[in-house]
Amino acid sequence: MFDEIHEECGVFGAYHIQNAAAITYYGLHTLQHRGQEASGIAVGEGAKIQVRKGKGLTIDVFTREKLEQMPGKVAVGHVRYSTAGGQENANIQPIVARGRVHDVAIVHNGQIVNEKELRIELEEAGCIFQGTSDSEIVLHMIQKEQGTMRERVMKTARKLVGAFSILVLCEDAIYAIRDQKGLRPLSYAKMQDGYVIGSETCAFEVLGLYTHTDVKPGELVEFKDGIVRRFDYEPAGETHLCAMEYIYFARPDSVIENLNVHRFRKETGRLLALRDDVEADIVIGVPDSSLSAAIGYAEASGIPFETGLVKNRFVGRTFIQPTQALRDRGVRMKLSAIGPIVAGKSVVMIDDSIVRGTTSRRIVRLLKDAGAREVHVRIASPVITSPCFYGVDTSTKEELIGARMDEAAICEAIEADSLRFMSIDDLKAAAGGVGLCTACFDGSYCTDLYSYGEKL
């Protein structure tokens, strides 16, 4: 879908490791694909926590000098994609509570669906909020609970409904919690005398760590006193990992629930090919996220895999459209067709998903303008028919082309010669034994939606 949907965050933590801030910097940089709008690191030394954060990529927010001013062996960090409330700096994570006895820092990936209800309850109890993020709510809740920090985090976790992978830093310890459905990924790995914790395993491999453990749905993992303790704050239910993590968000080298992302994508391509009978000359993928599926399709179909589209590596947020007349060329600034490869050819174009359909139509036109004879679009996921309330920015139901049209109508809208989506069953098959949340495809949300349900 190329730039149309966004996941909101990545989290990373380093426990009991020299230069924890620098290690976290590496981790966040590797998780940068999960969010490019803002970046922050909090580092703890005893009761005190120091935090630095700002808008932009991790490599822009932090300098070597700044990192050197952040000593400490425990740190948590965050990268985020800005959402509606994101204009103001108050929402950039980590969020830190300054306390008389100790500070607490929190980073969060996901979305709490009962946030409105929790916020009202807290406000009525006299809490004030400086930002609009649900992470601030969690911080208040932890503060209000009684007991040890572990107990307070556990009690808080039980009250949260929705998607969350949260790290809490306090007094040289880190508490990691993952929502009961396991909607967002969260894993940890041993490093030297300590541990690193992160949204995706790719962040471990850059540190030379090749084995890891997943935080289970409904689990709290405490990193404290140099050791790891695992607790079920809720009885483990069935896993409902967000399907989009496999389809689009995660880096192909990451492993989630023991399944490699690239391998999953290749399998979706293979399954698409099995159900297909199109006669074509070449198979191409929309870079970068659809290349794996295209390779799988090519292998299974016997149609040669080709590089038909090239992505401009230097596109950033700052790209401008200087003149109105040129504005419709926007997509071309990001993506170009290789004329000599596609000209005169019948092309199978694999894309990972279709959201609004406008980008798909532009890419089809791009290929046709470059001389492609036929463009057969194959989508390595089912039709998106429902909005996501678990942290994916898929826009409203009205904007989802799959909520308004059937396959044939979408095919016409995007000006393709043919179009096929993957079935939900095939998607599940590709995931093997991993339970998926497929709410955006079939509307079956795995939690109560609270006030979000009104948006349906």
Distance in Å, CB of 340 to its own copies, minimum: 4
144 binds its own copies (CB under 8 A): yes
For residues 416 and 413, what is the distance between their CA atoms, to the nearest angstrom? 8
**96 touches its own copies by CB under 8 A:** yes
Residue from 2, 12, 25, 175 in contact with its own copies (CB under 8 A): 25
Tokens 């790719």 correspond to: 202
Instruction: Decide whether 206 or 408 has the Cβ nearer to its own copies.
Output: 206
Rounded to the nearest whole angstrom, what is the least distance from the CB of residue 408 to its own copies in the complex? Answer: 29
Query: What is the Cα–Cα distance from 117 to 126, expressed in whole angstroms?
Result: 15
Rounded to 5 degrees, φ, ψ at 295 are -65, -45
Chain residues 176-205 in contact with its own copies, contact rule CB under 8 A: 202, 205
Residues with Cβ < 8 Å from 210, sequence gap 6 or more?
A: 204
Backbone angles phi, psi at 106, to 5 degrees: -140, 145
Contact assessment for residue 149 and residue 177, using Cβ atoms and an 8 Å cutoff: no
- Judged by beta carbon, residue 168 or residue 383, the one nearer its own copies is 168
Residue 405 binds its own copies, judged by CB under 8 A: no
| 332 is a site residue for its own copies (CB under 8 A) | yes
171 is an interface residue for its own copies by CB under 8 A: no
Q: Enumerate residues 341-400 that contact its own copies by CB under 8 A.
A: 341, 369-371
Task: Name the residue nearer to its own copies (CB basis): 144 or 216.
Answer: 144
Instruction: Please report, as residue ranges, which positions from 38 to 67 form the binding site for its own copies (by CB under 8 A).
Output: 51, 57-60, 62-64, 67
> Which one of 83-91, 168-176, 225-233, 409-417 is the stretch in contact with its own copies (CB under 8 A)?
83-91
Cα–Cα dist 23/14, whole Å = 7
Q: Of the candidates 47, 55, 132, 234, which one interacts with its own copies according to CB under 8 A?
A: 132
How far apart are CB 273 and its own copies at their closest, in Å? 14
| For its own copies, the closer CB: 309 or 355 | 309
Number of residues interacting with its own copies: please give it, by CB under 8 A. 95
Binding mask 250-269 for its own copies (x = CB under 8 A): -xxx-x----x-xx------
Q: At what angle do helices 134-144 and 115-124 cross, to 10 degrees?
A: 50
- Give the one residue of 45, 47, 83, 90 binding its own copies; rule: CB under 8 A: 90
Q: How far is Cα of residue 22 from the mean position of the Cα atoms in its chain?
A: 23
Q: How far apart are CB 292 and its own copies at their closest, in Å?
A: 6
Distance of CA 419 to the CA centre of its chain: 26
Cβ atoms within 10 Å of 318's Cβ, excluding its own: 5
Among positions 207-246, residues that touch its own copies (CB under 8 A) are: 207-208, 210
- Taking CB under 8 A as the rule, does residue 329 contact its own copies? yes
**Contacts to its own copies from residues 269-328, by CB under 8 A:** 288, 291-292, 295, 299, 304-307, 310, 312-316, 318-323, 325-326
Q: Does 130 bind its own copies (CB under 8 A)?
A: yes
Residues marked active site are found at 9
DSSP notation for 101-127 = S--EEEEEEEEETTHHHHHHHHHHTT-
CA distance 141 to 139: 5
C-alpha closest to that of 32 among 79, 64, 77, 75: 79
Least spacing, CB of residue 36 vs its own copies, in Å: 7
**CB burial class (10 A; 0-12, 13-18, 19+) of residue 152?**
buried
68 versus 193: smaller Cβ distance to its own copies:
68
277 CB neighbour count, 10 Å cutoff: 6
Indicate the DSSP class of residue 245: I
DSSP helix/strand/coil, 115: helix
Smallest Cα–Cα separation from 428: which of 264, 249, 218, 260?
A: 264
The first and second tokens of residue 316, run together, are 């950033």
The distance of closest approach from Cβ of residue 323 to its own copies in the complex, given in angstroms and rounded to an integer, is 5
How many Å apart are CA 115 and CA 106, to the nearest integer? 16
Out of 1, 139, 350, 392, the only residue in the binding site for its own copies (CB under 8 A) is: 139
